[in-house]
C-alpha cells in the first residue's frame, strides 16, 4: 500500500509537466537510474523529477544543494568550490525544504524598464518561470514591450541556453534577498559577476495596470512602481 500511494503521488507530479508517468517510472527502473526505494522517497517529498535528480550521460546524480554553491549549466552540476577550467553559470540563491529544489542566481544583471510602453498583463501571480512566459506571450499578442522579462528569458551567458532563465516573482526575490550575504560571498569569487548590491530589482509580479512589484536589496523592502517611468535591475534566475 505504501508503494502504491507513493506512485500515485508520483503520477500526479508527472501530469503537472504533461509527461507520461508510466514511461518515466518504467524507464528509470529499467535503466537502473534509480531504485524503487529512492523513487518512493522522491514521491513522498512531492518534488519533480527534474528537481530531485539530474540524469547526465546515463548516470544518475542525487545531490543536496545549499545556498552559495556554484552552478554549471553545461552539465547542470553543482560544487562547493569553483572548479578550474570549467565555466561557472551562477550561484544557488535559495533551496527548498527538500534541499533538492531551488533557485540559481545568474551572473549578469541589466537595468531597464519593466515595460517601456506600459504592457498590461492582468495575470495571477505564479512562480517566476510561469510569470515570465505569460508576460512575454501577452506582450507578443499586444505588440508591446516587456524589457525586464525579455532580458531574463533570452539570457545566454556562461552556457545558459535561451529560454531557461526567467524574472523571479516577488516571493522568489524576497527569498533570494534573505540569503544576499551568502550569495554575494560566492559571486565575489567569480570574475565579472554582478553582486546583489543594487537598491531596486524588478520582479515578474504585476501589481496593477500601471505598476509592477520590486524588491529592495538595500533594506529588504517590497513595493511597486511605474512599469515605464523608471529603470530597475533585472536579475535572471533559473530553477533546479
153-175 residue pLDDT tens: 999 999 999 999 999 999 999 99
59 Cβ contact partners less than 8 Å away, ≥ 6 residues apart = none
Within this chain, do residues 210 and 116 fall inside the same structural domain, yes or no? yes
- 76 in a domain, yes or no? no
27 Cβ contact partners less than 8 Å away, ≥ 6 residues apart = 33
Of 132 and 60, more confident: 132
Within this chain, do residues 57 and 133 fall inside the same structural domain, yes or no? no
The pLDDT score that the predictor gives to residue 101 is 87
136 Cβ contact partners less than 8 Å away, ≥ 6 residues apart = 146, 149, 150, 153
Within this chain, do residues 34 and 126 fall inside the same structural domain, yes or no? no
Within this chain, do residues 117 and 196 fall inside the same structural domain, yes or no? yes
- 14 in a domain, yes or no? yes
- 88 in a domain, yes or no? no
Within this chain, do residues 115 and 234 fall inside the same structural domain, yes or no? yes
Using one digit for the tens of pLDDT, what is the confidence trace for 1-19? 455 555 555 555 655 555 5
* pLDDT beyond 80 at 129: yes
Strand pairing partners for 213?
224
Within this chain, do residues 51 and 134 fall inside the same structural domain, yes or no? no
Query: Can you tell me the distance from the alpha carbon of 124 to that of 103, in angstroms, rounded to the nearest whole number?
Result: 21
Within this chain, do residues 207 and 135 fall inside the same structural domain, yes or no? yes
Range(s) of the domain holding residue 22: 1-62
Q: Which of 62, 82, 98 is the last residue of a domain?
A: 62
When divided into structural domains, the chain yields a total of 2
- 95 in a domain, yes or no? no
Using one digit for the tens of pLDDT, what is the confidence trace for 47-65? 444 444 443 333 334 578 9
Place of cell 533570494: 176
The pLDDT score that the predictor gives to residue 219 is 84
- 85 in a domain, yes or no? no
| pLDDT above 70 as % of the chain | 74
- 99 in a domain, yes or no? no
Interval 135-150 mean pLDDT: 98
Of 6 and 70, more confident: 70
Within this chain, do residues 123 and 22 fall inside the same structural domain, yes or no? no
- 141 in a domain, yes or no? yes
The pLDDT score that the predictor gives to residue 34 is 55
Of 51 and 205, more confident: 205
- 29 in a domain, yes or no? yes
The pLDDT score that the predictor gives to residue 63 is 74
Within this chain, do residues 50 and 150 fall inside the same structural domain, yes or no? no
The pLDDT score that the predictor gives to residue 49 is 43
Please state which of the ranges 9-18, 104-113, 197-206 shows the lowest mean pLDDT.
9-18
Amino acid at each position: 500500500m505504501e508503494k502504491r500511494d507513493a506512485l500515485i503521488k508520483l503520477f500526479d507530479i508527472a501530469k503537472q509537466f504533461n509527461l507520461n508517468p508510466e514511461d518515466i517510472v518504467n524507464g528509470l527502473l529499467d535503466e537502473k537510474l534509480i531504485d524503487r526505494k529512492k523513487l518512493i522517497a522522491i514521491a513522498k517529498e512531492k518534488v519533480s523529477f527534474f528537481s530531485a535528480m539530474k540524469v547526465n550521460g546515463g548516470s544518475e546524480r542525487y545531490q543536496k544543494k545549499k545556498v552559495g554553491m556554484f552552478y554549471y549549466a553545461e552539465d547542470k552540476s553543482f560544487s562547493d568550490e569553483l572548479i578550474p577550467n570549467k565555466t561557472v553559470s551562477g550561484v544557488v540563491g535559495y533551496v527548498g525544504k527538500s534541499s533538492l529544489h531551488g533557485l540559481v542566481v545568474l551572473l549578469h544583471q541589466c537595468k531597464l524598464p519593466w515595460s517601456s510602453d506600459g504592457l498590461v498583463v492582468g495575470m495571477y501571480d505564479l512562480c517566476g518561470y510561469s510569470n515570465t512566459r505569460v508576460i512575454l506571450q501577452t506582450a507578443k499578442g499586444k505588440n508591446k514591450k516587456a524589457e525586464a522579462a525579455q532580458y531574463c528569458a533570452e539570457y545566454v551567458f556562461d552556457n545558459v541556453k535561451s529560454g531557461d532563465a526567467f524574472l523571479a516573482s516577488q516571493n522568489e526575490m524576497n527569498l533570494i534577498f534573505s540569503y544576499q550575504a551568502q550569495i554575494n560571498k560566492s559571486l565575489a569569487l567569480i570574475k565579472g559577476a554582478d553582486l546583489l548590491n543594487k537598491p531596486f530589482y524588478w520582479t515578474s509580479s504585476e501589481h496593477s495596470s500601471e505598476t509592477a512589484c520590486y524588491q529592495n536589496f538595500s533594506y529588504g523592502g517590497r513595493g511597486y512602481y511605474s512599469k515605464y517611468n523608471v529603470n530597475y535591475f533585472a536579475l535572471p534566475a533559473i530553477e533546479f
